[in-house]
Amino acid sequence: MEIVDRWKLRWNTWDLRVVILISLSLQILLIFLAPLRKRLSNAWITMLIWSAYLLADGTATFAAGLISNSQGNTSRPFTDPTLLAFWAPFLLVHLGGPDTITAFSLEDNELWLRHFLGLGFQCWVVGYAFVQSFPNYKLWIPTLLMLLAGIIKYIERTRALYLASSHKIKETSLSDPDPGPDYARFMEVYISKKEAKLPTQIVMIPEPSSRSNNPKNHESKEDLSCLEVVQTAYEFYTTFKGLIADMIFSMGQRNQSRDYFLNLKARDAFKIIEVELNFFYEILYTKARVVQGRFPGHPLRIISFSLTCTTLVLFCLIEKKKFHKFDVVVSYTLVIGAIALDLIAFLMILYSDWTVVALTKSEHPNWFIKIMQRLLDVNRVRWPKNPGQKAKWFYPRKIMHIVRLRWSESLSQHNLINYCLHPCTKWWEKTIGFFGLTNMLDGMKHGYTVDFTPALRDFIFDELTMKSKVAADLEMAKEIFSARGNWILRYESCANLLRWIHEVEFDQSLILWHIATELCYYTDVEEKIDNREFSKYLSDYLLYLLIKQSTMLSNIAGIGQIRFRDTCAETKKFFRGRKMLEEEDSCQNIVTFCKCFCFCFKGKKEPDESLKKKACRRILDVNTDIDLLFVKGDKSKSVLFDACMLAKELKSLERPKMWKIISKVWVELMSYAACHCRGSIHVAQLSKGGQLLTLVWLLMAQLGLCDQILTREGHTKVKLIVSK
């Protein structure tokens, strides 16, 4: 019992001190790590931020409960009740959270009312501790100041969550109510003139062109400066932020955006898209929309910072001899930590894109704005000159490269042939399935990432701009963005391949073309062709989305999971019959599991090339002269040998044309998937490193290739002419 009593005494002595310092540490961790989740698509970073995000609120709430319970408790050896009351308001500051993260996911924004109620409850707890410390309480003034600062912080977070909720986003995206022309008044005038037997004529006045009259908008644009990219991105962000809430846009907005982007280079266009998505990320997951506002954002931030600094000064002036030294150190740590967090947040605000836009908005800036423009260097370089050359992890410039990233700039890959060549034992599959880890561990073992290269970026942009130029009207635009390979096949005069698009569902088509691409890739001459590499990257990327990120393709995925499993089962059966499988025993699975952690951290893992080449040759050697339906029936949804037939048709084409067709089909499949995924699902990926599919979605909207556009613009102008 003595040992138990001793540990109880130690816990009562140190529990509050440790917990409150952990709470501060979590705030420091979040303010620096939270911005990484939009730049890195790394499971470990995401898991660390998720853990810190959940622990931050839980730890602060737990510490507030300990303080409330400790008032008048003599079991704490050297804790002065006045210091406990002084520490309590800092927990409100911590519950307010850092500026870099208010919501971990979009669903957190919908719980803003819960945070609002939590504000009232936590204020009651802190107020209770404050009242319990009277009447002999010398720290009541600094405690009251920190209480006000904490309430402001908590209000900022609650307001940020409210403004990012789906209802508020949609509400703020709506334009002012428009009653339209006064039809009743027009008819009264018209009838009165007719009754007076005056010759009356109704003339329809054609609407002015929605295109800009500025000839610069139609000229080929030179490379944009970084400042021009940010300014342009903000303008388009204010126009197209309604995409998040599935709003409708006018023909004028569509034409102006389309004309501008058609005259851009690929790199500048993608830069603008990246910054636009960065604005989307910050209004949804950070306090940007609150702290960047002139009122009440800036005044409240100045007030809260001033209150914290005043608290530090007053605490320094108060006699502290009766307090324990360690408690004084904890108090100073909390105050200085709060000031440091505010200063870090202030620097982040100063160097953000929002501040750049605010400082360069006016055509005739005053002297103060000019000074701030120079101090903050608004024309600074924001993108590396050689984006394709990435430094190694231990190089200092790698850190700078990550800081400059707007998204992960990588494509996650998943490959069916590789997945089937390296199956796990049934014992291992059942074990990880029991704990619900199948998808995660399969992704670690069989998945890998590749860099989003400038060449692939240019290829995608050229394909989309080509289609945008063809889509002069909405009918043609609808035909193009609704195509999933058929439009480009007709455009390239490959009508014989249309049956592999028209006669199958989207998920079936995707798996078919994925396997066919693999068969062509690994049985082709090893001579580098850009279209060959593009086809491989996009094929594995879209299969990854279908299997591992199925929410993004939920509207069009159909029974993709069933088709994938049936196809894998037939593929494994085929390989097993030819003794090509590398079955792993239990020990090998454990070793592979350990390697997966390393691969997941590094983010890259190259598949076994030689075995895949041999496997693809074996599949292509199968005679497919007889229709599969007569042999297999339609119970199994496997498409392995259908893909084999498609691959043979593709290989009958000339080699450059074959890869040209395959790569263009994959861009069209990706475009179809992008525009059939809801905006809310797209922006949900921004907090996980982003997806190429999201960039393509926004780029298609800017090029006028989306269905959220009004068929008419404005009101028809009618003039009533009365002849004398």
Q: How far is Cα 658 from Cα 650, in angstroms, rounded to an integer?
A: 6
For 476, counting Cβ atoms within 10 Å of its Cβ (0-12 exposed, 13-18 middle, 19+ buried), the class is middle
**162, 168 in Cβ contact below 8 A?**
yes
Tell me, what's the pLDDT at 391? 45
Q: How far is Cα 456 from Cα 549, in angstroms, rounded to an integer?
A: 22
Tokens read off for 237: 């962000």
In 3D, which of 164, 22, 166, 42 has the Cα closest to residue 103? 164
Tell me, what's the pLDDT at 513? 97
In 3D, which of 545, 516, 517 has the Cα closest to residue 533? 517
Tell me, what's the pLDDT at 393? 46
In 3D, which of 7, 115, 112 has the Cα closest to residue 61? 115
CA distances from 317 to 130, 321, 328 (A): 20, 12, 13
DSSP structural state of residue 554:
T
Tokens read off for 334: 């909390």
For 563, counting Cβ atoms within 10 Å of its Cβ (0-12 exposed, 13-18 middle, 19+ buried), the class is buried
Q: How far is Cα 508 from Cα 558, in angstroms, rounded to an integer?
A: 9
CB atoms within 10 A of CB 435: 9
**273, 465 in Cβ contact below 8 A?**
no
**534, 456 in Cβ contact below 8 A?**
yes
Burial 503-525 (b: 16+ CB within 10 A, else e): ebebbbbbbbbbbbbbbbbbebe
SS3 146: helix
**623, 496 in Cβ contact below 8 A?**
no
Tell me, what's the pLDDT at 366? 85
CB atoms within 10 A of CB 413: 22
Tokens read off for 102: 């208010």
Tell me, what's the pLDDT at 336? 96
Q: How far is Cα 451 from Cα 388, in angstroms, rounded to an integer?
A: 8
Apex 539 CA angle, 533 and 544, nearest 5 = 130
**660, 535 in Cβ contact below 8 A?**
no
Q: How far is CA 323 from the centre of its chain?
A: 48
Q: How far is Cα 492 from Cα 561, in angstroms, rounded to an integer?
A: 31
pLDDT, tens digit, 9 for 90 and up, residues 190-221: 788 777 777 777 776 665 554 544 434 445 45
Tell me, what's the pLDDT at 498? 93
| Low pLDDT (below 50) residues in the chain | 210, 212-218, 220, 388-389, 391-394, 584-586, 588-589, 593, 596-606
**Residue 638 phi, psi (nearest 5):** -65, 140
Tokens read off for 289: 């929309």
SS3 219: coil
**Residue 654 phi, psi (nearest 5):** -65, 145
**675, 705 in Cβ contact below 8 A?**
yes
Q: How far is Cα 11 from Cα 185, in angstroms, rounded to an integer?
A: 80
Tell me, what's the pLDDT at 82? 74
Q: How far is Cα 554 from Cα 15, in angstroms, rounded to an integer?
A: 47
Tokens read off for 605: 């893992």
